[in-house]
Chain A
Amino acid sequence: MAKGDPGAPARGRRAAPRSRKATTGDPELVQLLTPEGERIESVTGPDGTEYRVDFTDEEYRGLYRDLVLVRKLDAEATALQRQGELGIWASLLGQEAAQVGSGRALRTQDMAFPTYREHGVLYCRGIDPIMPLGLFRGVDQGGWDPNEFKFNMYTIVIGAQTLHATGYAMGVAMDGKTGTDDGEAVIAYFGDGATSQGDVNEAFVWAGVFNSPLVFFCQNNQYAISEPLERQTRIPLYRRAAGFGFPGIRVDGNDVLATYAVTRHALDTARHGQGPSLIEAYTYRMGAHTTSDDPTRYRIASEVEAWQAKDPIARMKSFLEREKIADAAFFTEVDEQARREAVDLRERVLAMPNPEPDTIFDHVYPNGSPLLDQQREQFSRYLESFEGSVH
Chain B
Amino acid sequence: MATETLTLGKALNAGLRRALENDPKVVIMGEDVGKLGGVFRITDGLQKDFGDQRVIDTPLAESGIIGTAVGLAIRGYRPVCEIQFDGFVYPAYDQIVSQVAKMHYRSRGKLNIPMVIRIPFGGGIGAVEHHSESPEAYFAHTAGLKVVSCANPQDAYVMIQQAIASDDPIVFLEPKRRYWEKGTVDLDAPLSEAYPLHASRVARAGTDATLLAYGPMVRTCLDAATAAAEDGRNLEVIDLRTLSPLDLGVVYESVRRTGRAVVVHEAPSNLGMGAEVAARITEECFYSLESPVLRVAGFDTPYPAARVEEEYLPDLDRVLDAVDRTFGW
Contacts and interface: CB of A to CB of B under 8 A. Distances in A.
A291 B312 CA distance: 52
Given A198-B63, A199-B67, A160 B72 contact: no
Contact of B104 (A172, A203, A366): A366
A99 interface: no
What is the interface residue range for chain A against chain B? 35 or more
A43 interface: no
Given A167-B68, A365-B168, A153 B107 contact: yes
Given A205-B59, A366-B167, A165 B71 contact: yes
B305 interface: no
Nearest to A171: B75
B146 interface: yes
A143 B105 CA distance: 11
Interface in A148-200: 152-153, 155, 157, 160, 162-172, 174-175, 198-199
Given A170-B68, A366-B109, A147 B59 contact: no
A145 B109 CA distance: 9
Contacts of B53: 174
A342 to B, nearest CB: 26
B110 interface: yes
B105 A146 contact: no
A351 interface: no
Interface of A: 113, 140-143, 145-147, 152-153, 155, 157, 160, 162-172, 174-175, 198-199, 202-203, 205-206, 209, 362-367, 369-372
24 contacts: A140-B108, A141-B108, A145-B107, A146-B107, A153-B106, A157-B98, A157-B99, A166-B67, A167-B79, A168-B72, A170-B71, A170-B72, A199-B63, A199-B67, A199-B95, A202-B64, A202-B67, A205-B59, A205-B61, A206-B64, A363-B108, A366-B104, A367-B167, A369-B245
A366 to B, nearest CB: 4
A379 to B, nearest CB: 15
A160 B111 CA distance: 17
Contacts of B63: 163, 198-199, 202
Contacts, number: 137
A167 B108 contact: no
A20 B182 CA distance: 73
A164 to B, nearest CB: 4
Contacts of B109: 362-363, 366
A202 B61 contact: yes
Contacts of B107: 141-142, 145-146, 153, 363
> Which 3 residue pairs are nearest across A and B when measured between Cβ atoms?
A167-B71, A163-B67, A171-B75
B61 A147 contact: no
A145 B110 CA distance: 6
B256 to A, nearest CB: 19
Contacts of B166: 366-367
Given A364-B144, A370-B245, A164 B70 contact: yes
Given A172-B75, A362-B109, 4 more contacts: A153-B103, A163-B71, A164-B70, A170-B68
B143 to A, nearest CB: 6
Contact of B59 (A140, A155, A209): A209
Interface string B82-121: 0000000001001100110001111111111010000000
Nearest to A369: B245
Contacts of A363: 104-105, 107-109
Contacts of B144: 364-365
B126 interface: no
A366 B67 contact: no
Interface string B48-66: 0000010000110101101
A271 to B, nearest CB: 15
A49 B116 CA distance: 43
Contact of A163 (B70, B104, B146): B70
* Most B-side CB within 10 Å, residue of A145, A169, A170, A205: A170
Nearest to B112: A366
Contact of A146 (B58, B74, B77, B94): B74
Given A157-B99, A198-B63, A202-B59, A169 B71 contact: yes
A164 B71 contact: yes
A371 B246 contact: yes
B247 interface: yes
A205 B143 contact: no
B76 interface: yes
B323 interface: no
